[in-house]
Amino acid sequence: MSSVIEEKVKQLQGDVITWRRYLHQHAEISFQEYATSAYIENELKKMEGMTVSRPLPTGVIGVIEGAYPGKTIALRADIDALPMVEDNGLEFASVNTGAMHSCAHDGHAAMLLGVAKIFSEERAKMHGKLICIFQHAEELPPGGAVEMVEKGVMEGVDAIFGMHLSSNFPTGTFGVKSGVLTSATDGFTIKVFGKGGHSSMPEQCIDPVTTGAQIIMALQNIKSRFVAASETLVFSVCKVHCGDAYNIIPGEMVIEGSVRSFSKEIRERLPQWIEQIASGIAAANGATVECIYDYGYASVVNDPELTDEAREVLTKWFGKESILEIGLLMPGEDFSAFTELTGVPGCFVEIGTANDEKGTRVNHHNPKYIMDEDALYYGTAFFAGMVEKELEVY
């Protein structure tokens, strides 16, 4: 027999799809989610017993107090779109040209609105407090999560849950992993300073081009020689800027790249390793360097106990076969700020949206991305199931 909460999740699917389509059609990019936040705020204000606040102009918080004392649980949905032109022929495609919900954050926000509605109606049975965080700017470092934490949204929170719809997994499945889940996403810049001059007389110059080329190649040694083969690490030089003419040795080269890592210890040593390689090679060539390391999002690390509780809830609702025990995910995710900066345990789950009959296996961040809206039921159920359990809504 299904619970009251399970019935409510089913009944709400029409509303969740309506919210999702509205948000999809009115997509706004990171740090510009003004209309999106106003819409969410307005929808939350229609719900009974909901305290709504705007800690930031582009983010919204909804709080529901249960009738009985208990834990404080936070649920997080990101709400921003990406700067790209939608090209999928959807009836409700973005009317804001150059902003597209191609990473399914419209779905995340809609599902959280659904869960907010359910527990605003069920608060008389609820033990504790539910905080619904509608977070801006997940797609653009430094990200909205860190700002939300700085505004104190995590004060008194005992556990936080998050999720991401994903076209990498079939609809009806949940990607679950204990411990480290996503990569830490950092960037670096290396400026190589030489001495410019005539291309025919390199002996009068210090060539930043050959020096920079050696640095680019040697950076790969960090992965192959400095860390254990069992570690996952990606080094990609993606931008090189140098020179203006074919016959002038330039004075300077600028190299930019990204690093994805999973181990905290390795991440802490990366700036030093880059500096060591770049300055060593520069010295060997008579050049000098300046190295800048930009820390991006930390890895999402799932608390083992909360992850077990998620497995338990998902097994109860959908059976063990709905759970996919997944590996490390290379994309970054600023959900990590809510746990990393506060010490509050968290659990982040992937919600499958791939359905071959509907052609929804398209990559995220692609202009042709479309979502299987049936997946919204499963995501809403995950959040609702966790709240039902943690806040003993029986």
Residue among 334 and 390 whose Cβ is closer to Ni ion: 334
Beta carbon of residue 72, minimum distance to Ni ion (angstroms, whole number): 26
Beta carbon of residue 165, minimum distance to Ni ion (angstroms, whole number): 8
Provide the 10 A C-beta neighbour count for residue 155: 11
Residue among 329 and 387 whose Cβ is closer to Ni ion: 329
Known active-site residue 373: yes
Contact pattern for Ni ion over residues 91 through 120, marking x by CB under 5 A: ------------x-----------------
Known active-site residue 377: no
Q: What residues numbered 62-81 form the site for Ni ion, per CB under 5 A? A: none
Residue among 61 and 103 whose Cβ is closer to Ni ion: 103
Beta carbon of residue 21, minimum distance to Ni ion (angstroms, whole number): 18
Beta carbon of residue 363, minimum distance to Ni ion (angstroms, whole number): 12
Catalytic residue among 39, 297, 377, 378: 297
Q: Residue count at the site for Ni ion (CB under 5 A)? A: 1
Beta carbon of residue 286, minimum distance to Ni ion (angstroms, whole number): 45
Catalytic residue among 43, 86, 340, 373: 373
Q: Closest residue to Ni ion, Cβ-based? A: 103
Residue among 64 and 176 whose Cβ is closer to Ni ion: 176
Residue among 72 and 183 whose Cβ is closer to Ni ion: 183
* Active site (catalytic) residues: 297, 373
Residues that bind Ni ion (CB under 5 A): 103
